[in-house]
């Protein structure tokens, strides 16, 4: 009886004393305080629907003061899907209380644009009306031109000048980027596909074709190599634009009569492809760094057009990682030349070199957009260089997601903002570098290999990140997580990453001779 009296005296129905706006911290937090005795049961609703708590959304109580509970609804990397009205319902046997707060974490992709299906219908109507208006205006113009016989007295320009204006805007250098590499509205264009609730814009060209940065100088001197100085030896692989061969090149270096080179051929060069070829050659001439593959020059005497690069003995890094992983070692059981599994320190040595190349690219304001191990090359003594600025999309076609006709996106290496808003920056390159680290520490596994492309897009835009590889030290996984911060400005800086990797690599010296 005394107990009953005591609990009746101290019974307090729930009261929500605080529910405030969401604040970004390490996680997002919707702060609240609730008083009550016995301890109230808490339930959250988002736009009227009960929130199921789990690892990504959970109620956390941080502090208790005299029957008042202070805590957070903690959200790990919330997306636009988490935006809405949050209701907190507190309940115990003596009563209930509830309060509401609006939370806005991320802009919905293509907010205000033709995002929902019904909006598309409206857009289609606009397009039809637009075309009709243009046709009608054209008709009127024709009438005027016919009437005044091409006489420019009224300031009406002939069709040729209109076309030349269009030509200008079609020139790759005309779309001057705004530094941040954010697409202009004209770039958003109609080239987009819809996957689930996400609209993915189409990228027509790698960034450097449109870049105004210092790498595309007008006075670049591209070295020309004579065809008779190139002797093909064997095929090395298939690139996006043609075959890649191992060759001997004569009279290239003053110290050697001939050296081994890798030549990339450009088959069936259309006028545009030729322009791109020359632009890429200019860019490559200006990119010079110990961890960027050396570009020697071009041979354009006749078809096919050729680019000459230094030869990297062990080929692309993805193949190399797979060839030195546990599966390859197992497969080669009993053979005379068994591959040796890469050690952690060798992995760090590889990672550090790629980061060094990326520090250089960032210093040149060059956004790579397609950093992945398939685009890095391995030479002697585990020397690694970033080797490809084009699109190696034929051989590794499953690494890309086809949108529209020809465009392939490396979605598994892309951060949410590149997938959702087609925003490519040095920070999105940092995200990709995190994925490259993951590739290295999994011996070349495909990121999210267990998921389909649509599932990957869903996962990344929802804020999920790759799991820690089995052989990966905590320090390295922390680094990956630093690259995969949802907010681009929260990601680690490329210089910091290089510094951290360099220190980790120094702490565990590499025994290169293991590779043989």
Q: Is residue 179 part of an annotated ligand binding site?
A: no
Q: Could you tell me if 249 and 226 are in contact, meaning their C-beta atoms sit under 8 angstroms apart?
A: no
Q: Would you state the torsion angle of the CA atoms of residues 281, 283, 287, 292, taken in this order, to the nearest 10 degrees?
A: -60
Residues 467-506 close enough to bind ligand ADP by CB under 6 A: none
Residue 305 or residue 500: which is nearer to ligand ADP going by CB? 305
Choose, by CB under 6 A, the member of 110, 208, 295, 309 that binds ligand ADP.
309
392 binds ligand ADP (CB under 6 A): yes
295 binds ligand ADP (CB under 6 A): no
- SS in 3 state form for 455-478? HHHHHHHHCCCCCCCCCCCHHHHH
Using a CB cutoff of 8 Å and minimum separation of 24, what contacts does 471-479 make?
471/344, 471/441, 472/438, 472/441, 473/344, 473/504, 475/500, 475/504, 476/348, 476/351, 476/437, 476/441, 476/504, 479/434, 479/437
439 binds ligand ADP (CB under 6 A): no
292 binds ligand ADP (CB under 6 A): no
244 binds ligand ADP (CB under 6 A): yes
Residue 108 or residue 402: which is nearer to ligand ADP going by CB? 402
Residue 256 or residue 267: which is nearer to ligand ADP going by CB? 267
Strands (E), 347-502: 376-378, 384-386, 401-403, 407-409
Q: Is residue 347 part of an annotated ligand binding site?
A: no
Q: Is residue 388 part of an annotated ligand binding site?
A: yes
Tokens (6 digits) for 294 = 């050396």
CA 362 to the chain's CA centroid: 15
Q: Is residue 313 part of an annotated ligand binding site?
A: yes
**Comparing C-alpha atoms, which of 279, 441, 464 is closest to residue 354?**
441
How many chain residues touch ligand ADP (CB under 6 A)? 21
Other CB atoms within a 10 A radius of the CB of residue 140 amount to 10
Residue 311 or residue 431: which is nearer to ligand ADP going by CB? 311
Give me the residue label for tokens 């199921």: 52
430 binds ligand ADP (CB under 6 A): no
Q: Is residue 241 part of an annotated ligand binding site?
A: yes
Q: Would you state the torsion angle of the CA atoms of residues 312, 318, 321, 323, taken in this order, to the nearest 10 degrees?
A: -80
Q: Could you tell me if 377 and 174 are in contact, meaning their C-beta atoms sit under 8 angstroms apart?
A: no
- Residue from 370, 394, 429, 478 carrying the catalytic annotation: 370
241 binds ligand ADP (CB under 6 A): yes
Q: Is residue 311 part of an annotated ligand binding site?
A: yes
**Comparing C-alpha atoms, which of 65, 79, 124, 144 is closest to residue 417?**
79
Cβ 261 to ligand ADP shortest distance, Å: 8
Pairwise CA distance, residues 361 & 382, whole Å: 21
316 binds ligand ADP (CB under 6 A): yes
Residue 107 or residue 406: which is nearer to ligand ADP going by CB? 406
Cβ 392 to ligand ADP shortest distance, Å: 3
Residue nearest to ligand ADP (CB): 239
Cβ 303 to ligand ADP shortest distance, Å: 16
438 contact partners, CB below 8 Å, separation of at least 6: 447, 466, 469, 472, 480
Q: Is residue 264 part of an annotated ligand binding site?
A: yes
The 3-state DSSP class for residue 122 equals: helix
284 binds ligand ADP (CB under 6 A): no
Span from 72-80, 119-127, 171-179, 232-240 in contact with ligand ADP (CB under 6 A): 232-240
Q: Is residue 37 part of an annotated ligand binding site?
A: no
Q: Could you tell me if 32 and 49 are in contact, meaning their C-beta atoms sit under 8 angstroms apart?
A: no
Residue 86 or residue 401: which is nearer to ligand ADP going by CB? 401
291 binds ligand ADP (CB under 6 A): no
312 binds ligand ADP (CB under 6 A): yes
Question: Could you confirm whether 429 is annotated as catalytic?
Answer: no
Task: Give, rounded to a whole angstrom, the gap between the first and last alpha carbons of the chain.
Answer: 84
Span from 64-72, 147-155, 162-170, 231-239 in contact with ligand ADP (CB under 6 A): 231-239
Pairwise CA distance, residues 25 & 303, whole Å: 58
311 binds ligand ADP (CB under 6 A): yes
Span from 35-43, 105-113, 150-158, 383-391 in contact with ligand ADP (CB under 6 A): 383-391
Q: Is residue 244 part of an annotated ligand binding site?
A: yes
Pairwise CA distance, residues 86 & 47, whole Å: 6
The residue ranges that bind ligand ADP (CB under 6 A) are 236-237, 239-241, 244, 262, 264, 293, 309-312, 315-316, 377, 387-388, 390, 392, 395
Which residues are identified as catalytic?
370
Which residues are known binding-site members for ATP?
A: 237-244, 264, 310-316, 374
Which residues are known binding-site members for Mg(2+)?
A: 375, 388
């Amino acid at each position: 009886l005394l107990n009953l009296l005591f609990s009746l005296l101290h019974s307090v129905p729930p009261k929500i004393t605080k529910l405030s706006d969401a604040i970004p911290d390490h996680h997002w937090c919707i702060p609240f305080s609730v008083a009550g005795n016995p301890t109230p049961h808490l339930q959250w609703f988002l736009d009227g629907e009960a929130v199921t708590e789990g690892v990504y959304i959970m109620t956390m109580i941080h502090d208790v003061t005299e029957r008042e509970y202070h805590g957070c609804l903690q959200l790990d990397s919330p997306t636009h899907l988490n935006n809405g009205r949050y209701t907190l319902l507190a309940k115990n046997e003596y009563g209930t209380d509830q309060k509401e707060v609006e939370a806005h974490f991320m802009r919905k992709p293509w907010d205000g644009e033709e995002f929902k299906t019904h909006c598309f219908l409206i857009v289609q109507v606009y397009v039809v009306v637009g075309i009709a208006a243009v046709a009608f205006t054209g008709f009127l113009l024709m009438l005027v031109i016919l009437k005044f016989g091409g006489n420019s007295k009224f300031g009406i320009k002939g069709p040729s000048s209109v076309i030349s204006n269009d030509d200008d805007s079609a020139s790759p250098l005309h779309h001057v980027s705004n530094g941040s590499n954010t697409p202009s509205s004209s770039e958003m264009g109609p080239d987009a596909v819809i996957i689930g609730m996400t609209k993915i814009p189409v990228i027509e060209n790698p960034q450097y074709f449109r870049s105004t940065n210092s790498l595309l100088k007008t006075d670049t001197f591209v070295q020309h190599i004579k065809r008779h100085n190139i002797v093909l030896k064997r095929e090395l692989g298939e690139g996006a634009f043609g075959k890649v061969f191992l060759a001997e090149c004569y009279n290239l270096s003053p110290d050697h009569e001939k050296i081994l080179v890798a030549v990339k051929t450009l088959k069936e060069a259309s006028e545009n492809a030729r322009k791109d070829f020359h632009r890429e050659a200019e860019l490559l001439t200006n990119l010079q760094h110990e961890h960027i593959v050396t570009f020697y020059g071009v041979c354009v005497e006749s078809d096919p057009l050729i680019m000459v690069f230094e030869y990297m003995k062990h080929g692309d890094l993805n193949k190399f990682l797979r060839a030195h992983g546990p599966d390859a070692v197992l497969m080669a059981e009993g053979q005379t030349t068994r591959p040796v599994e890469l050690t952690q320190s060798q992995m760090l040595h590889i990672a550090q070199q790629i980061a060094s190349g990326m520090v250089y690219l960032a210093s040149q304001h060059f956004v790579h957009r397609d950093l992945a191990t398939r685009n890095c090359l391995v030479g002697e003594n585990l020397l690694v260089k970033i080797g490809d600025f084009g699109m190696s999309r034929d051989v590794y076609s499953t690494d890309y997601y086809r949108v529209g006709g020809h465009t392939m996106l490396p979605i598994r290496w892309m951060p949410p903002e590149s997938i959702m808003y087609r925003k490519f920056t040095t920070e999105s390159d940092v995200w990709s570098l995190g994925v490259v680290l993951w590739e290295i520490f999994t011996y070349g596994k495909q990121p999210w290999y267990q998921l389909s492309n649509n599932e990957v897009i869903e996962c990344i835009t929802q804020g999920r990140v790759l799991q820690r590889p089995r052989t990966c030290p905590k320090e390295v996984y922390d680094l990956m997580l630093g690259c995969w911060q949802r907010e681009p400005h929260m990601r680690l800086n490329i210089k910091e990453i290089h510094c951290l990797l360099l220190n980790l690599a120094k702490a565990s010296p590499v025994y290169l001779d293991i590779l043989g």
